[in-house]
Amino acid sequence: MSTTWNNPLIEQRADPQITLVDGRYWFTASVPSFDAIEIRAADSIASLATATPKTIWTKHDSGPMSFHVWAPELHRIDGRWFVYFAASERGDIWKLRMYVLECLGDNPLTGEWIERGQIATPEEGFSLDATPFEHGGRRFLCWAQKSPPTESNLYIAEMANPWTLKTEPVVITRPELAWERIGFCVNEGPAVLKRNGRVFIAYSAAATDANYCMGLLWADEHADLLDATSWHKSPTPVFTTDESVSQFGPGHNSFTTTPDGQTDLLVYHARNYRDIVGDPLNDPNRHTRVQAFGWRADGFPDFGTPVADGPCSL
């Protein structure tokens, strides 16, 4: 097993997700053109850097799913492969909605992908960053959605199937803290981690520049996850810009492990410079990075600080 890779692992791939399934790593992320979904696979983290990407879907020519394809996630659910992503319509960047693809074959790189459609939510306003997870024999979805007047909150609901909600969405966090409201009032990019009797949800906050950072929610593993009062939030961010190593705006993370499951890995994007010309969303240099993290004595994750560009070892 290769225990060393180079950061950034994959350049110009924001919103990265790496998942380990049956001993093989699968990678997907936003592409700089925001017009397609690609995946790649390899036997090690390091090998993902040179693995050949396969485009499995491209945007529509017009109407829904024709513009700004964002933050795909690849999930294996009940023996089937699904991709969750957000897309909008040309002329209205914020007409973002969540959609699901399903692979009809066993291999996501060669199987046919079909559209299962939009994940319908009862509220109007953009929705994105859908991530499904199982807990207590039930399937849940967590996502970000705009709520009046301008903020982006995190919601949770139980699922009837991989593309349909079963219960009314519940808000589990709003951007109420000062560090969540820099530039924009944002909670987005949820990623689920279950450990030590708790369900953790890491998320990202603030504008997508050097102020972008990660926050942390948690609930007791026996709590009702659909009860907003079950969720608690760290009053301070848990992973932030570190100017000393030229790592700016780390966030939109996912989690994976080493093949033996013994070491937890944090997957995230960041830039290696602070100053951005124009809209940060048009700057393509949010690169995928991976680093190990540990656990505190109280059972909470300790993400540490972003590591400098270069070789990264366990």
How far is residue 242 from each of residues 75, 179, 308, measured CA to CA in Å?
Answer: 31, 15, 9
Cα separation, 177 vs 255, whole angstroms: 25
Cα separation, 19 vs 26, whole angstroms: 5
Catalytic-residue membership of 180: no
Residue with tokens 């602070």: 274
Task: Give 28's contacts (C-beta < 8 A, 6+ positions apart).
Answer: 16, 17, 37, 38, 39, 40, 72, 73, 74, 83
Q: Which of the residues 11, 15, 129, 275 is marked catalytic?
A: 15
Residue 214: which of 125, 313, 301, 84 has the closest Cα? 301
Q: Find the farthest-apart pair of alpha carbons in the chain and give their distance in angstroms, rounded.
A: 53
Q: Which of the residues 129, 151, 180, 188 is marked catalytic?
A: 188
Please answer whether residues 265 and 45 qualify as being in contact, where contact means their C-beta atoms are separated by less than 8 angstroms: yes
Catalytic-residue membership of 168: no
How many residues in the chain? 314
Active site residues: 15, 188
